[in-house]
Amino acid sequence: MEQEKYEQPWVLVRGAGDLATGVITRLHRCGFRVVATECAAPSAIRRSAALCEAVWRNLMQVEDVVARRITTAAQAAEVAQAGEMPLLVDEAAACIDTLHPAAVVDAIIAKRNVGTHRGMAPITVGLGPGFTAGQDVDAVIETMRGHQLGRVIWQGTAIPDTGVPGDIEGYALKRVIHAPSSGTMRYVPDGVGHLVDIGTAVQAGQVIARIDATPVYATIDGVLRGLIRVGYPVTKGLKIADIDSRPEQITMCETVSDKALAIGGGVVEALLMLARERSIRLL
């Protein structure tokens, strides 16, 4: 009797925003069989470095990794076999009942647990605040910038959310822009008629977008690293843009950030350690 062919198990990543994309790209390159789930209307501002854009565009590439939107879990294997990463709109991760992943990674970055628990898979990992290692997940990855970024936490929680963005060149709160009102996101032309978008160099006080008729102003000089997609129905206070004061970032807007890569490395470490400890095959 011919030996049954081994089918590599799934690693399911909940979320495909820019930080989750760092996780997905590292797992994909290391040979893990990755599938991602997303909500129906992701609001990532670093769109050019976020695989969740596949929800809107059906296909999204970040560096060398391609995400393809699928409509049913049954399509995942064919997409993965072609070398792409299947992405399913499935906010509740109901596809777990079909795919039976060996590991689930919650990379939603909601600052709270939105439903991930250890019963979902033999291995569970949560990113950032909202999870307790040893209780609702097996391991937690630190997401706060600084010395602990990307470290695996085996007992306890990540550093609590401070509500203050990480400091870059002395800018923290000022580099992130929130919607001054509710309405529809509109893009605007710059001084020479080009639409202001991700990768545009901007100056403090410049109008970088409008929410209906309300102008959105740049808070600092720098590179517009993130801008929520045009036409998005924003609510007052929603994070809609991110400016990086480092001029060299103008060439890096379409690549995974240092922070996302560090977090992704922590996830790889946690998965491999847990798989070895529990004799679970992932690769």
Would you state the pLDDT for residue 58? 98
pLDDT of 167 reads: 58
Q: What residues are paired with 124 via a beta bridge? A: 104
Q: Where are the beta strands (DSSP E) in the chain?
A: 10-14, 33-38, 59-62, 65-70, 85-89, 103-106, 123-127, 139-141, 152-153, 176-178, 183-187, 201-202, 207-211, 214-217, 222-227, 233-234, 239-244
pLDDT at 166: 60
pLDDT of residue 1: 32
CA distances from 166 to 31, 162, 201, 244, 259 (A): 31, 10, 21, 11, 10
Residues 216, 217, 218, 223, Cα dihedral to 10°: 40
What is the rounded distance in angstroms from the CA atom of residue 16 to the CA atom of residue 160?
A: 22
Q: pLDDT digit of tens for each residue in the chain (283 aa)? A: 333 457 899 999 999 999 999 999 999 999 999 999 999 999 999 999 999 999 999 999 999 999 999 999 999 999 999 999 999 999 999 999 999 999 999 999 999 999 999 999 999 999 999 999 999 999 999 999 999 999 999 999 999 987 766 655 565 568 899 999 999 999 999 988 899 999 999 999 999 999 999 999 999 999 999 999 999 999 999 999 999 999 999 999 999 999 999 999 999 999 999 999 999 999 9
Q: Are the C-beta atoms of residues 123 and 280 closer than 8 Å to each other?
A: yes
Give me the phi and psi of 78, to 5 degrees please: -65, -40
pLDDT for 3 equals: 39
| Matching residue, tokens 């990540």 | 158
Do β-strands 207-211 and 222-227 pair in parallel, antiparallel, or remain unpaired? unpaired
Structure-block tokens of residue 26: 């590292």
Closest C-alpha among 176, 228, 220, 226 to residue 198: 226
